[in-house]
Amino acid sequence: MNPLSSPLLADLYQFTMLQTYLEQRMDDIAVFELFVRKLPAGRNFLVAAGLDQVLEFLENLHFTPEELTWLAKRFPPHVIDYLERFRFTGDVHAMPEGTVFFPNEPILRITAPMPQAQLVESRIINLMHFETLIASKAARSVLIARNKLLVDFGMRRAHGAEAGLLAARASYLAGFSGTATLLAGALYDIPVFGTMAHSFVQAHQNEIDAFAHFARSHPDNTMLLIDTYDTEVAAAKVVTLAQQLRSENIRIKGVRLDSGDLAQHARNVRAILDDGGLRETTIFASGNLDEYKLQALLAAQAPIDGFGIGTALDISLDAPALDCAYKLQEYAGIPRRKHSEGKATWPGRKQVYRRYTNDGQLLEDTVALEDENPQPGEALLQPFMRAGKRLQPTLTLHELRSRTLTGYRCLTQNMTALEAAPPYPVTISAALHAMAEQIDRQYLTQHHGQT
């Protein structure tokens, strides 16, 4: 069983419900939509991500003999017969990855026979939630530090392997320059960056030997970590070493700071490097960084050329989860609405329309029913899969990243700040309001005999 693609990557209830759906012949078309209920504190927008992984999951979904054998001990033969032939044959509509979005806006819609649409619930949430979480977090650093090199350093503290890989992908999509994670480079063609660890320096008897050895191995890409013992002392050693290596045609490309007062160390190190003739040698900083520390370092005009962001990025430290849901909005042609306290949903198949000001900034979004008269503005949900097959052409990750960066230009200045701005207006259309009220009236009539 492949943990990343197995259809058993689901909650038990998806299979118990499936059994009942089959026994009751409830295989009419169901429409589920994925949306976020509210923004995390201090956030002004989110960035949709994870669609490519969802489409790959749906297109390849099937049960292996091993999985069927395991299930056969727990479910009756008619369920196993059904699962043996199982393929996802539904449609997917979604906002393209990298699209800025807001609470209550569907970012993904699944239209498929009920047993299928229900079976894929948990993995779809799992993928979309995490990549959207990370892309939304990464966007904040990108907007703060527009022209700096930003590198994902977080795999080691990401929650497992897939989180590390998808965090590299989602942060690159949101505008990061690349990642330290080699496998993310191999799988997604993301630029990979790296220097050296403290252990490398410690394993040598002298710090300058460590630097010299590394430089001779990597003459074209010498990045030296200089905070293992004393940052400024190490910077002076870098100057000495650079003079020694000049005859070997080796240039020290950059140094990395990883502890202490990064702004002060950067100023000291910049002066030492400049005095030593190493004006081209860049300074890269890491060590528990996040977008707030980036903002402070930039405000202090610290001479830092690039940043590695680890834990805060890969687990979205200030908001490690989004309040998102995958909800049934229509079944057998009839719109549905959940009434649970504090968790009511907008029924029906919906579209999101976005309007812009004359100078191209976000003005207002409207959530409307798909089949009501089109609203003014850009329709954000697009078809990505029909009858279980992906629609072509798909943009590459690099193209999606460019599109995402362009999309940021539509954000108002308020929205690009790290603090909460006044909420962006998301209007619910009159027809959608009317439909919700009609369902509520029907429910009351039916369940309480009231009108």
Per CB under 8 A, 338 contacts a second copy:
yes
Q: Residue 399 half-sphere exposure, CB side, CA atoms within 13 Å?
A: 5
Among 123, 293, 350, 401, binds a second copy (CB under 8 A): 123
DSSP structure string for 410-445: TS-HHHHSSSPPSPPPEEEPHHHHHHHHHHHHHHHH
Q: Which of 325, 334, 370, 326 is nearest to 28 (CA)?
A: 334
Per CB under 8 A, 102 contacts a second copy:
no
Nearer to a second copy, 146 or 339 (CB): 339
Per CB under 8 A, 114 contacts a second copy:
yes
**Residues touching a second copy: how many (CB under 8 A)?**
106
DSSP structure string for 353-387: EEEE-TTS-EEEEEEEETTSPPPSSEE--EEEEET
Q: Which of residues 223-252 bind a second copy (CB under 8 A)?
A: 227-230, 233
Length of the chain: 451
Among 150, 196, 352, 367, binds a second copy (CB under 8 A): 196
**Closest distance of CB 246 from a second copy, Å:** 20
Binding mask 356-395 for a second copy (x = CB under 8 A): ----------------------------------------
Helix H or strand E encompassing 111: strand 108-113
Residue showing tokens 């940021």: 408
Per CB under 8 A, 202 contacts a second copy:
yes
**Closest distance of CB 232 from a second copy, Å:** 12
Q: Which of 349, 337, 346, 339 is nearest to 112 (CA)?
A: 349
Per CB under 8 A, 219 contacts a second copy:
no
Contact between residue 29 and residue 333 where contact means Cβ atoms under 8 Å apart: yes
Q: Which of residues 140-159 bind a second copy (CB under 8 A)?
A: 153, 155-159
Q: Which of residues 31-50 bind a second copy (CB under 8 A)?
A: 32
Per CB under 8 A, 327 contacts a second copy:
yes
Binding mask 13-32 for a second copy (x = CB under 8 A): xxxxx-xxx-xx-x---x-x
Strand order in the sheet with 108-113: 334-335, 324-331, 29-36, 108-113, 91-94, 382-386, 389-390
Binding mask 157-176 for a second copy (x = CB under 8 A): xxxxxxxxxxx---------
**The two three-digit tokens of residue 257, written as one number:** 């700071």
Residue 87 CA to residue 81 CA, distance in Å, equals 13
Nearer to a second copy, 231 or 416 (CB): 231
Q: DSSP assignment, residue 276?
A: T
Per CB under 8 A, 126 contacts a second copy:
yes
Residue 76 CA to residue 273 CA, distance in Å, equals 72
Among 35, 45, 172, 193, binds a second copy (CB under 8 A): 193
Nearer to a second copy, 225 or 411 (CB): 225
Residue 431 CA to residue 367 CA, distance in Å, equals 10
Per CB under 8 A, 9 contacts a second copy:
yes
Binding mask 55-94 for a second copy (x = CB under 8 A): ------------x--x------------------------
